[in-house]
Amino acid sequence: MPKKLKQVPKFANESQERSFWESHDTADYFDLSKAARVRFPNLKPSTTAISLRLPVSLLEQIKIAANKRDVPYQSLIKMWLAEKVG
């Protein structure tokens, strides 16, 4: 016999909803066996900060190249790496 699902209450705000789900199991409210996988193709990929040691002269050359293109130097480095790897 299928489990009777509970009705999800109405929430006044996101904080109230967050508190509710922190103390309740979604399995009591949704039939997760019918869940479908979804994709969100327009989300920004997560990034990770790294430390990269460069000679001062090379960094200055990169900054000059970035300034000529009117982009931040870190963005230019990412663009160059993406072009080279991809």
pLDDT at residue 1 in the model: 65
Tell me what the mean pLDDT of segment 45-63 comes to.
Answer: 94
pLDDT of residue 41: 84
| Rounded to 5°, angle at Cα 38 from 32 and 43 | 130
Q: What is the predicted pLDDT for the residue at 34? A: 85
Dihedrals φ, ψ of 20, to 5°?
-60, -50
Average of per-residue pLDDT across 70-76: 96
Q: Torsion angle of alpha carbons 9, 14, 20, 21, nearest 10°?
A: 100
pLDDT over threshold 80, residue 36: yes
Of the candidates 71, 72, 14, 78, the one whose C-alpha atom is nearest the C-alpha of residue 45 is 78
pLDDT at 51: 95
